């Protein structure tokens, strides 16, 4: 894409939106300082994200090349009955997955402390803690912790339910005791083998947008793997199949392109070393060319007592 950035907006207008102002501030930090510590996400989830809108059914599938994700809504016992949960969707379960996956890698444990209260955990994720937000967040956490998740890459199928034990923010523990979430053994094993490092400041800047988070994690996984100097071409059709599943109706293509361009522009601010060019045929933009780029966080490999965590 051409050289215009959100910094040009700052020069042309003194009335920046809070989101634009935050992205510009974090972009400046990212350009001048390395991250203090990375966040992590499973490599398949970087390629195929959770639904961005609430699915109409109790399952959701997304595919991208050889990678595929299937989520099935589960049930949770409330003390009296098994209650059907929804499929987790939106930014809230994404932010929770970033956090618990990252803490698992950092602590070298699948048992993750999540604070003494729901409010304190939400504050860790930089989320509003008003009554409506807390109720919506609890619904999404219940959905995430109850769901079944199957990951696939080519013929390799992995039944990797994320959470095995969820008893967070109840009155079952001692007063003031910090609650925990325990990842399933299989999800933890998969995360150890295929964790993609991400810049926490980028995630903070993009947390208003599911689409922007998905584009960022995809590019963080993809760009540094490209070896050909000429890069790889991606068509709008490819992008729509991967990221535009939720766009419906007569104007779906137009609406998706508009949303994608806005989100990509924000992603490029917080991933400044990403090399992406527009591809056109005449006056018609047909897609993008992805060029070899540094990862947003340098890949590393950490050895732990239980085995190796390989940062992809």
CA distance 51 to 91: 9
Q: Are 1 and 277 in contact (CB under 8 A)?
A: yes
Give the pLDDT of residue 15. 61
Q: Compute the average pLDDT of residues 24-46.
A: 93
Tokens of 228: 């050909």
Give the pLDDT of residue 56. 92
- Block residue for tokens 């890459």: 153
124-165 pLDDT, tens per residue? 999 999 889 999 999 999 999 999 999 888 888 889 899 999
User: What is the residue-averaged pLDDT of the chain?
Assistant: 87
Give the pLDDT of residue 301. 44
Residue 249 vs residue 122, higher pLDDT: 122
Q: What is the pTM of this model?
A: 0.88
CA distance 195 to 48: 14
**Helices 91-107 & 131-146, crossing angle to 10 degrees?**
60
pLDDT exceeding 90 applies to what percent of the chain?
65
CA distance 113 to 39: 16
Give the pLDDT of residue 300. 59
| Burial status of residue 33 (CB atoms within 10 A of its CB: 0-12, 13-18, 19 or more) | exposed
Q: Residue 309: pLDDT band by 50, 70, 90 thresholds?
A: low
3-state helix, strand, coil in the chain (%, to 5): 40, 25, 35
What sections of 64-194 are H helices per DSSP?
A: 91-107, 118-124, 131-146, 185-193
Residue 104 vs residue 311, higher pLDDT: 104
DSSP letters for 114-150: --SSHHHHHHHTT---SHHHHHHHHHHHHHHHH-EEE
Give the pLDDT of residue 170. 67
* Chain centre to alpha carbon of residue 5: 23
45-71 pLDDT, tens per residue? 999 999 999 999 999 999 888 889 999
Q: Are 259 and 211 in contact (CB under 8 A)?
A: yes
Tokens of 210: 């599911």
């Amino acid at each position: 894409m051409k050289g215009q950035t959100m910094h040009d907006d700052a020069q042309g207008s003194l009335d920046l939106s809070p989101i634009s102002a935050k992205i510009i501030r974090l972009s400046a930090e990212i350009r001048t300082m390395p991250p203090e510590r990375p966040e992590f996400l499973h490599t398949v989830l970087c390629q195929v994200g959770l639904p961005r809108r609430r699915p109409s059914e109790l399952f959701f599938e997304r595919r991208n090349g050889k990678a595929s994700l299937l989520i099935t809504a589960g049930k949770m016992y409330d003390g009296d009955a098994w209650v059907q949960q929804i499929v987790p969707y939106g930014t809230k379960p994404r932010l929770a997955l970033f956090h618990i996956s990252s803490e698992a890698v950092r602590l070298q444990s699948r048992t993750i402390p999540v604070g003494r209260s729901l409010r304190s955990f939400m504050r860790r994720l930089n989320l509003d803690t008003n009554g409506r937000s807390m109720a919506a967040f609890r619904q999404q956490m219940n959905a995430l912790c109850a769901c079944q998740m199957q990951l696939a890459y080519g013929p390799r199928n992995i039944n990797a339910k994320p959470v095995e034990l969820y008893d967070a923010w109840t009155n079952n523990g001692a007063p003031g005791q910090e609650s925990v979430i325990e990842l399933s053994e299989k999800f933890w094993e998969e995360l150890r083998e295929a964790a993609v490092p991400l810049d926490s400041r980028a995630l903070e800047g993009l947390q208003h947008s599911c689409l922007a988070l998905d584009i960022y994690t995809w590019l963080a996984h993809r760009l540094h793997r490209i070896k050909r100097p000429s890069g790889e071409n991606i068509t709008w059709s490819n992008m729509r199949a991967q990221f535009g599943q939720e766009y419906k109706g007569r104007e779906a293509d137009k609406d998706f392109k508009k949303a994608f361009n806005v989100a990509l522009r924000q992603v490029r601010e917080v991933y400044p070393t990403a090399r992406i060019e527009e591809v056109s045929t005449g006056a018609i933009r047909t897609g993008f060319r992805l060029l070899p780029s540094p990862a947003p966080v340098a890949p590393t490999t950490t050895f732990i007592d239980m085995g190796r965590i390989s940062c992809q």
